[in-house]
Amino acid sequence: MKKKLGNFVARKVGNSIALMVPSKAGVKPGQRFELIQEDKIAL
């Protein structure tokens, strides 16, 4: 099942990079996701 949760910006947290997801997206701790980077398209 695909469900778009929104667009998020990566942030540096300590020595890691994290994606901050708002709680209203319904994501629970421990859930796994596949991250796919799309090419940026200039309009």
Give per-residue pLDDT as tens, 16-35: 998 888 888 888 889 988 88
pLDDT at 16: 94
Torsion of Cα atoms, 33 then 14 then 25 then 42, to 10°: -80
Cβ–Cβ < 8 Å for 29, 21: no
Q: What is the pLDDT of residue 14?
A: 95
Which of 1, 4, 2 shows the shortest CA–CA distance to 25?
Answer: 4
pLDDT at 42: 62
Average pLDDT across the chain, whole number: 83
Question: pTM of the full predicted structure?
Answer: 0.48
